[in-house]
Amino acid sequence: MPPSPAPSPSPSASSPPAPPAPYGTGGPDPLRWPDVVALPRASRARTALAERLVRRALSRLPLRARLAGGESVGLGGPLMEIHDPVAFFRRIGASGLIGFGESYMAGEWESPDLVGVLTVFASHAAELVPKPLQRLRGLWALHRPPEQANTPEGAGANISHHYDLSNELFATFLDETLTYSAAVFRGFPAEQALLPAAQHRKIDRLLDMADVGPGTRLLEIGTGWGELAVRAAERGARVVTVTLSREQRELARARVRDAGFESRVDIRLLDYRRITGEYDAIVSVEMIEAVGEEYWPVYFRTLDERLAPGGRIVLQAITMRDERLRASRATYTWIQKYIFPGGLLPSADAIERTATAHTRLRTEQRIRFGMHYAETLRLWRERFTARTAEVDALGFDATFRRMWTFYLAYSEAGFRSGYLDVQQILLTRGAGIPGSPEGSLR
């Protein structure tokens, strides 16, 4: 999912998380949440500098930050309550945006309109850090731990960190299709009851773009919980779908079996780099975000090598603007630490550059629909919030719930601000000119 709206000005490192302990109820578990329970080390000078820079940024934003004691900063707008300013500024001084998120997880700041506050930050991402400090980003920004690299071995651990949390957890906020990607609605505001149809509308458009029909040999990279594979099998396609999540594979197999398509759908626990065979169509939904920039060439070469002559590839990708990708690509973010280790969102330009430089693939069509993702995330967040008791019953603690709420709100804000977009991209071999034509579904 989305990256940080912008790193906060901080030049220190945060200690890596300890190996996960079982989730529990009650207060934060210091083994599971070491950097939430304990304040980070930060010098007085660094903390003071962070406070000065953050106050300067807040004073110019259309929000109202109210600090303990009654002081308010900002131009007015959604309210941000900073209950513990000392801890808040210290965390940001030590680890920037990671500290900003950890401060929320610790309950040191709150908002009755969390999405509104985060949307303001995302909308002004390029302005939060002074230009001189932006040019020195390489000196102060945290960098991704080497163990998060998406090697064939590391990719499995990164995927498991998120997708193997619990099938039951995802079922608390996803709709009955168990589709964990942007839906396509007929109109806004979106409604919970219409989410399954909107997810099928999204899937059907992907399959239509890939020209999937009777007899199509379809490769899906990233199984999810099997809804797209079932939908393709209903059209008469023969599907090979690969995943690195054991939890997803087991439930997807059960769903395919229940739908009566075991003979048409082959679900494999397999890295995309190890796929063999030739396919008439390849579909991959919001999986490129987990590939990692250093492996983008390998990913696109795999697509090219597996595609039969005359075949079509359709990707659904969360994207950011190219200038933001270039500015933040090396920065270690809260999302990477807590939600998607090893993740990096591409830009549409980066997809074009990589495909052109390393394959025969060219973009034939792009459809953008970022606001549909904002609405999808809103529905997920509202459903998750309404099912607190069910989440607790699964053994997830209050800190996890704050983390997950922040993740969903943070992601929604990215799309509402335009910092992020989501696109369906049609690639064919040697056809079309990169970047044209481009469609837009608002």
Phi-psi region of 230 (alpha: psi -120 to 50; beta: other; left: phi over 0): alpha
Please say whether the beta carbons of 64 and 436 come within 8 A.
Answer: no
The answer, yes or no, to whether residue 237 has pLDDT greater than 60, is yes
Average pLDDT value for residue range 243-254:
98
Give CA separation, 282 vs 196, 295, 431, in Å.
Answer: 23, 18, 16
Rounded Cα distance, 88 and 111, in Å: 14
- The token duo for 238 is 């023969």
Strand, coil or helix: 107: coil
Rounded Cα distance, 388 and 30, in Å: 22
Side by side, the strands of the sheet bearing 438-440 are 265-269, 238-243, 217-221, 279-285, 307-320, 420-429, 361-368, 438-440
Would you list the DSSP string of 134-183? HHTHHHHS-B--GGG---HHHHHHHHHHHHTS-HHHHHHHS-TT---S--
Average pLDDT value for residue range 359-388:
98
The predicted structure's pLDDT at residue 14? 36
Strand, coil or helix: 100: helix
Rounded Cα distance, 83 and 68, in Å: 5
Average pLDDT value for residue range 66-87:
95
The answer, yes or no, to whether residue 9 has pLDDT greater than 60, is no
**Location of structure tokens 């998750």:** 384
Residue 392, strand partner residues: none
Kindly report, residue by residue over 216-228, the tens digit of the pLDDT: 999 999 999 999 9
- The token duo for 135 is 């040019």
The answer, yes or no, to whether residue 393 has pLDDT greater than 70, is yes
The predicted structure's pLDDT at residue 70? 84
Give the whole-number percent of the chain exceeding pLDDT 90.
81
CA 403 to chain centre: 14
Of 5 and 139, the structure prediction assigns the larger pLDDT to 139
Half-sphere exposure of 223 (CA within 13 A, CB side): 30
Rounded Cα distance, 340 and 404, in Å: 12
| Residue 436: pLDDT band with limits 50, 70, 90 | very low
Of 126 and 399, the structure prediction assigns the larger pLDDT to 399
Kindly report, residue by residue over 156-214, the tens digit of the pLDDT: 999 999 999 999 999 999 999 999 999 999 999 999 999 999 999 999 999 999 999 99
Rounded Cα distance, 392 and 400, in Å: 10
Tally of CB atoms within 10 A around 208: 12
The answer, yes or no, to whether residue 21 has pLDDT greater than 50, is no
The answer, yes or no, to whether residue 322 has pLDDT greater than 60, is yes
The answer, yes or no, to whether residue 346 has pLDDT greater than 50, is yes
Q: Please, what is the end-to-end C-alpha distance for the chain in angstroms?
A: 20
Which segment of 26-35, 278-287, 375-384, 419-428 scores lowest on mean pLDDT? 26-35
Side by side, the strands of the sheet bearing 64-67 are 72-73, 64-67, 79-82, 109-110
Average pLDDT value for residue range 397-418:
98
The predicted structure's pLDDT at residue 441? 62
- The token duo for 83 is 């209950």
- Of the ranges 22-26, 375-379, 428-432, which is most confident? 375-379
The answer, yes or no, to whether residue 239 has pLDDT greater than 70, is yes
Please say whether the beta carbons of 142 and 331 come within 8 A.
Answer: yes
Kindly report, residue by residue over 259-317, the tens digit of the pLDDT: 999 999 999 999 999 999 999 999 999 999 999 999 999 999 999 999 999 999 999 99
The predicted structure's pLDDT at residue 300? 98
| Residue 328: pLDDT band with limits 50, 70, 90 | confident
Strand, coil or helix: 361: strand
Rounded Cα distance, 430 and 381, in Å: 41
| Residue 252: pLDDT band with limits 50, 70, 90 | very high
Average pLDDT value for residue range 11-32:
51
Length of the chain: 442
The answer, yes or no, to whether residue 430 has pLDDT greater than 90, is no
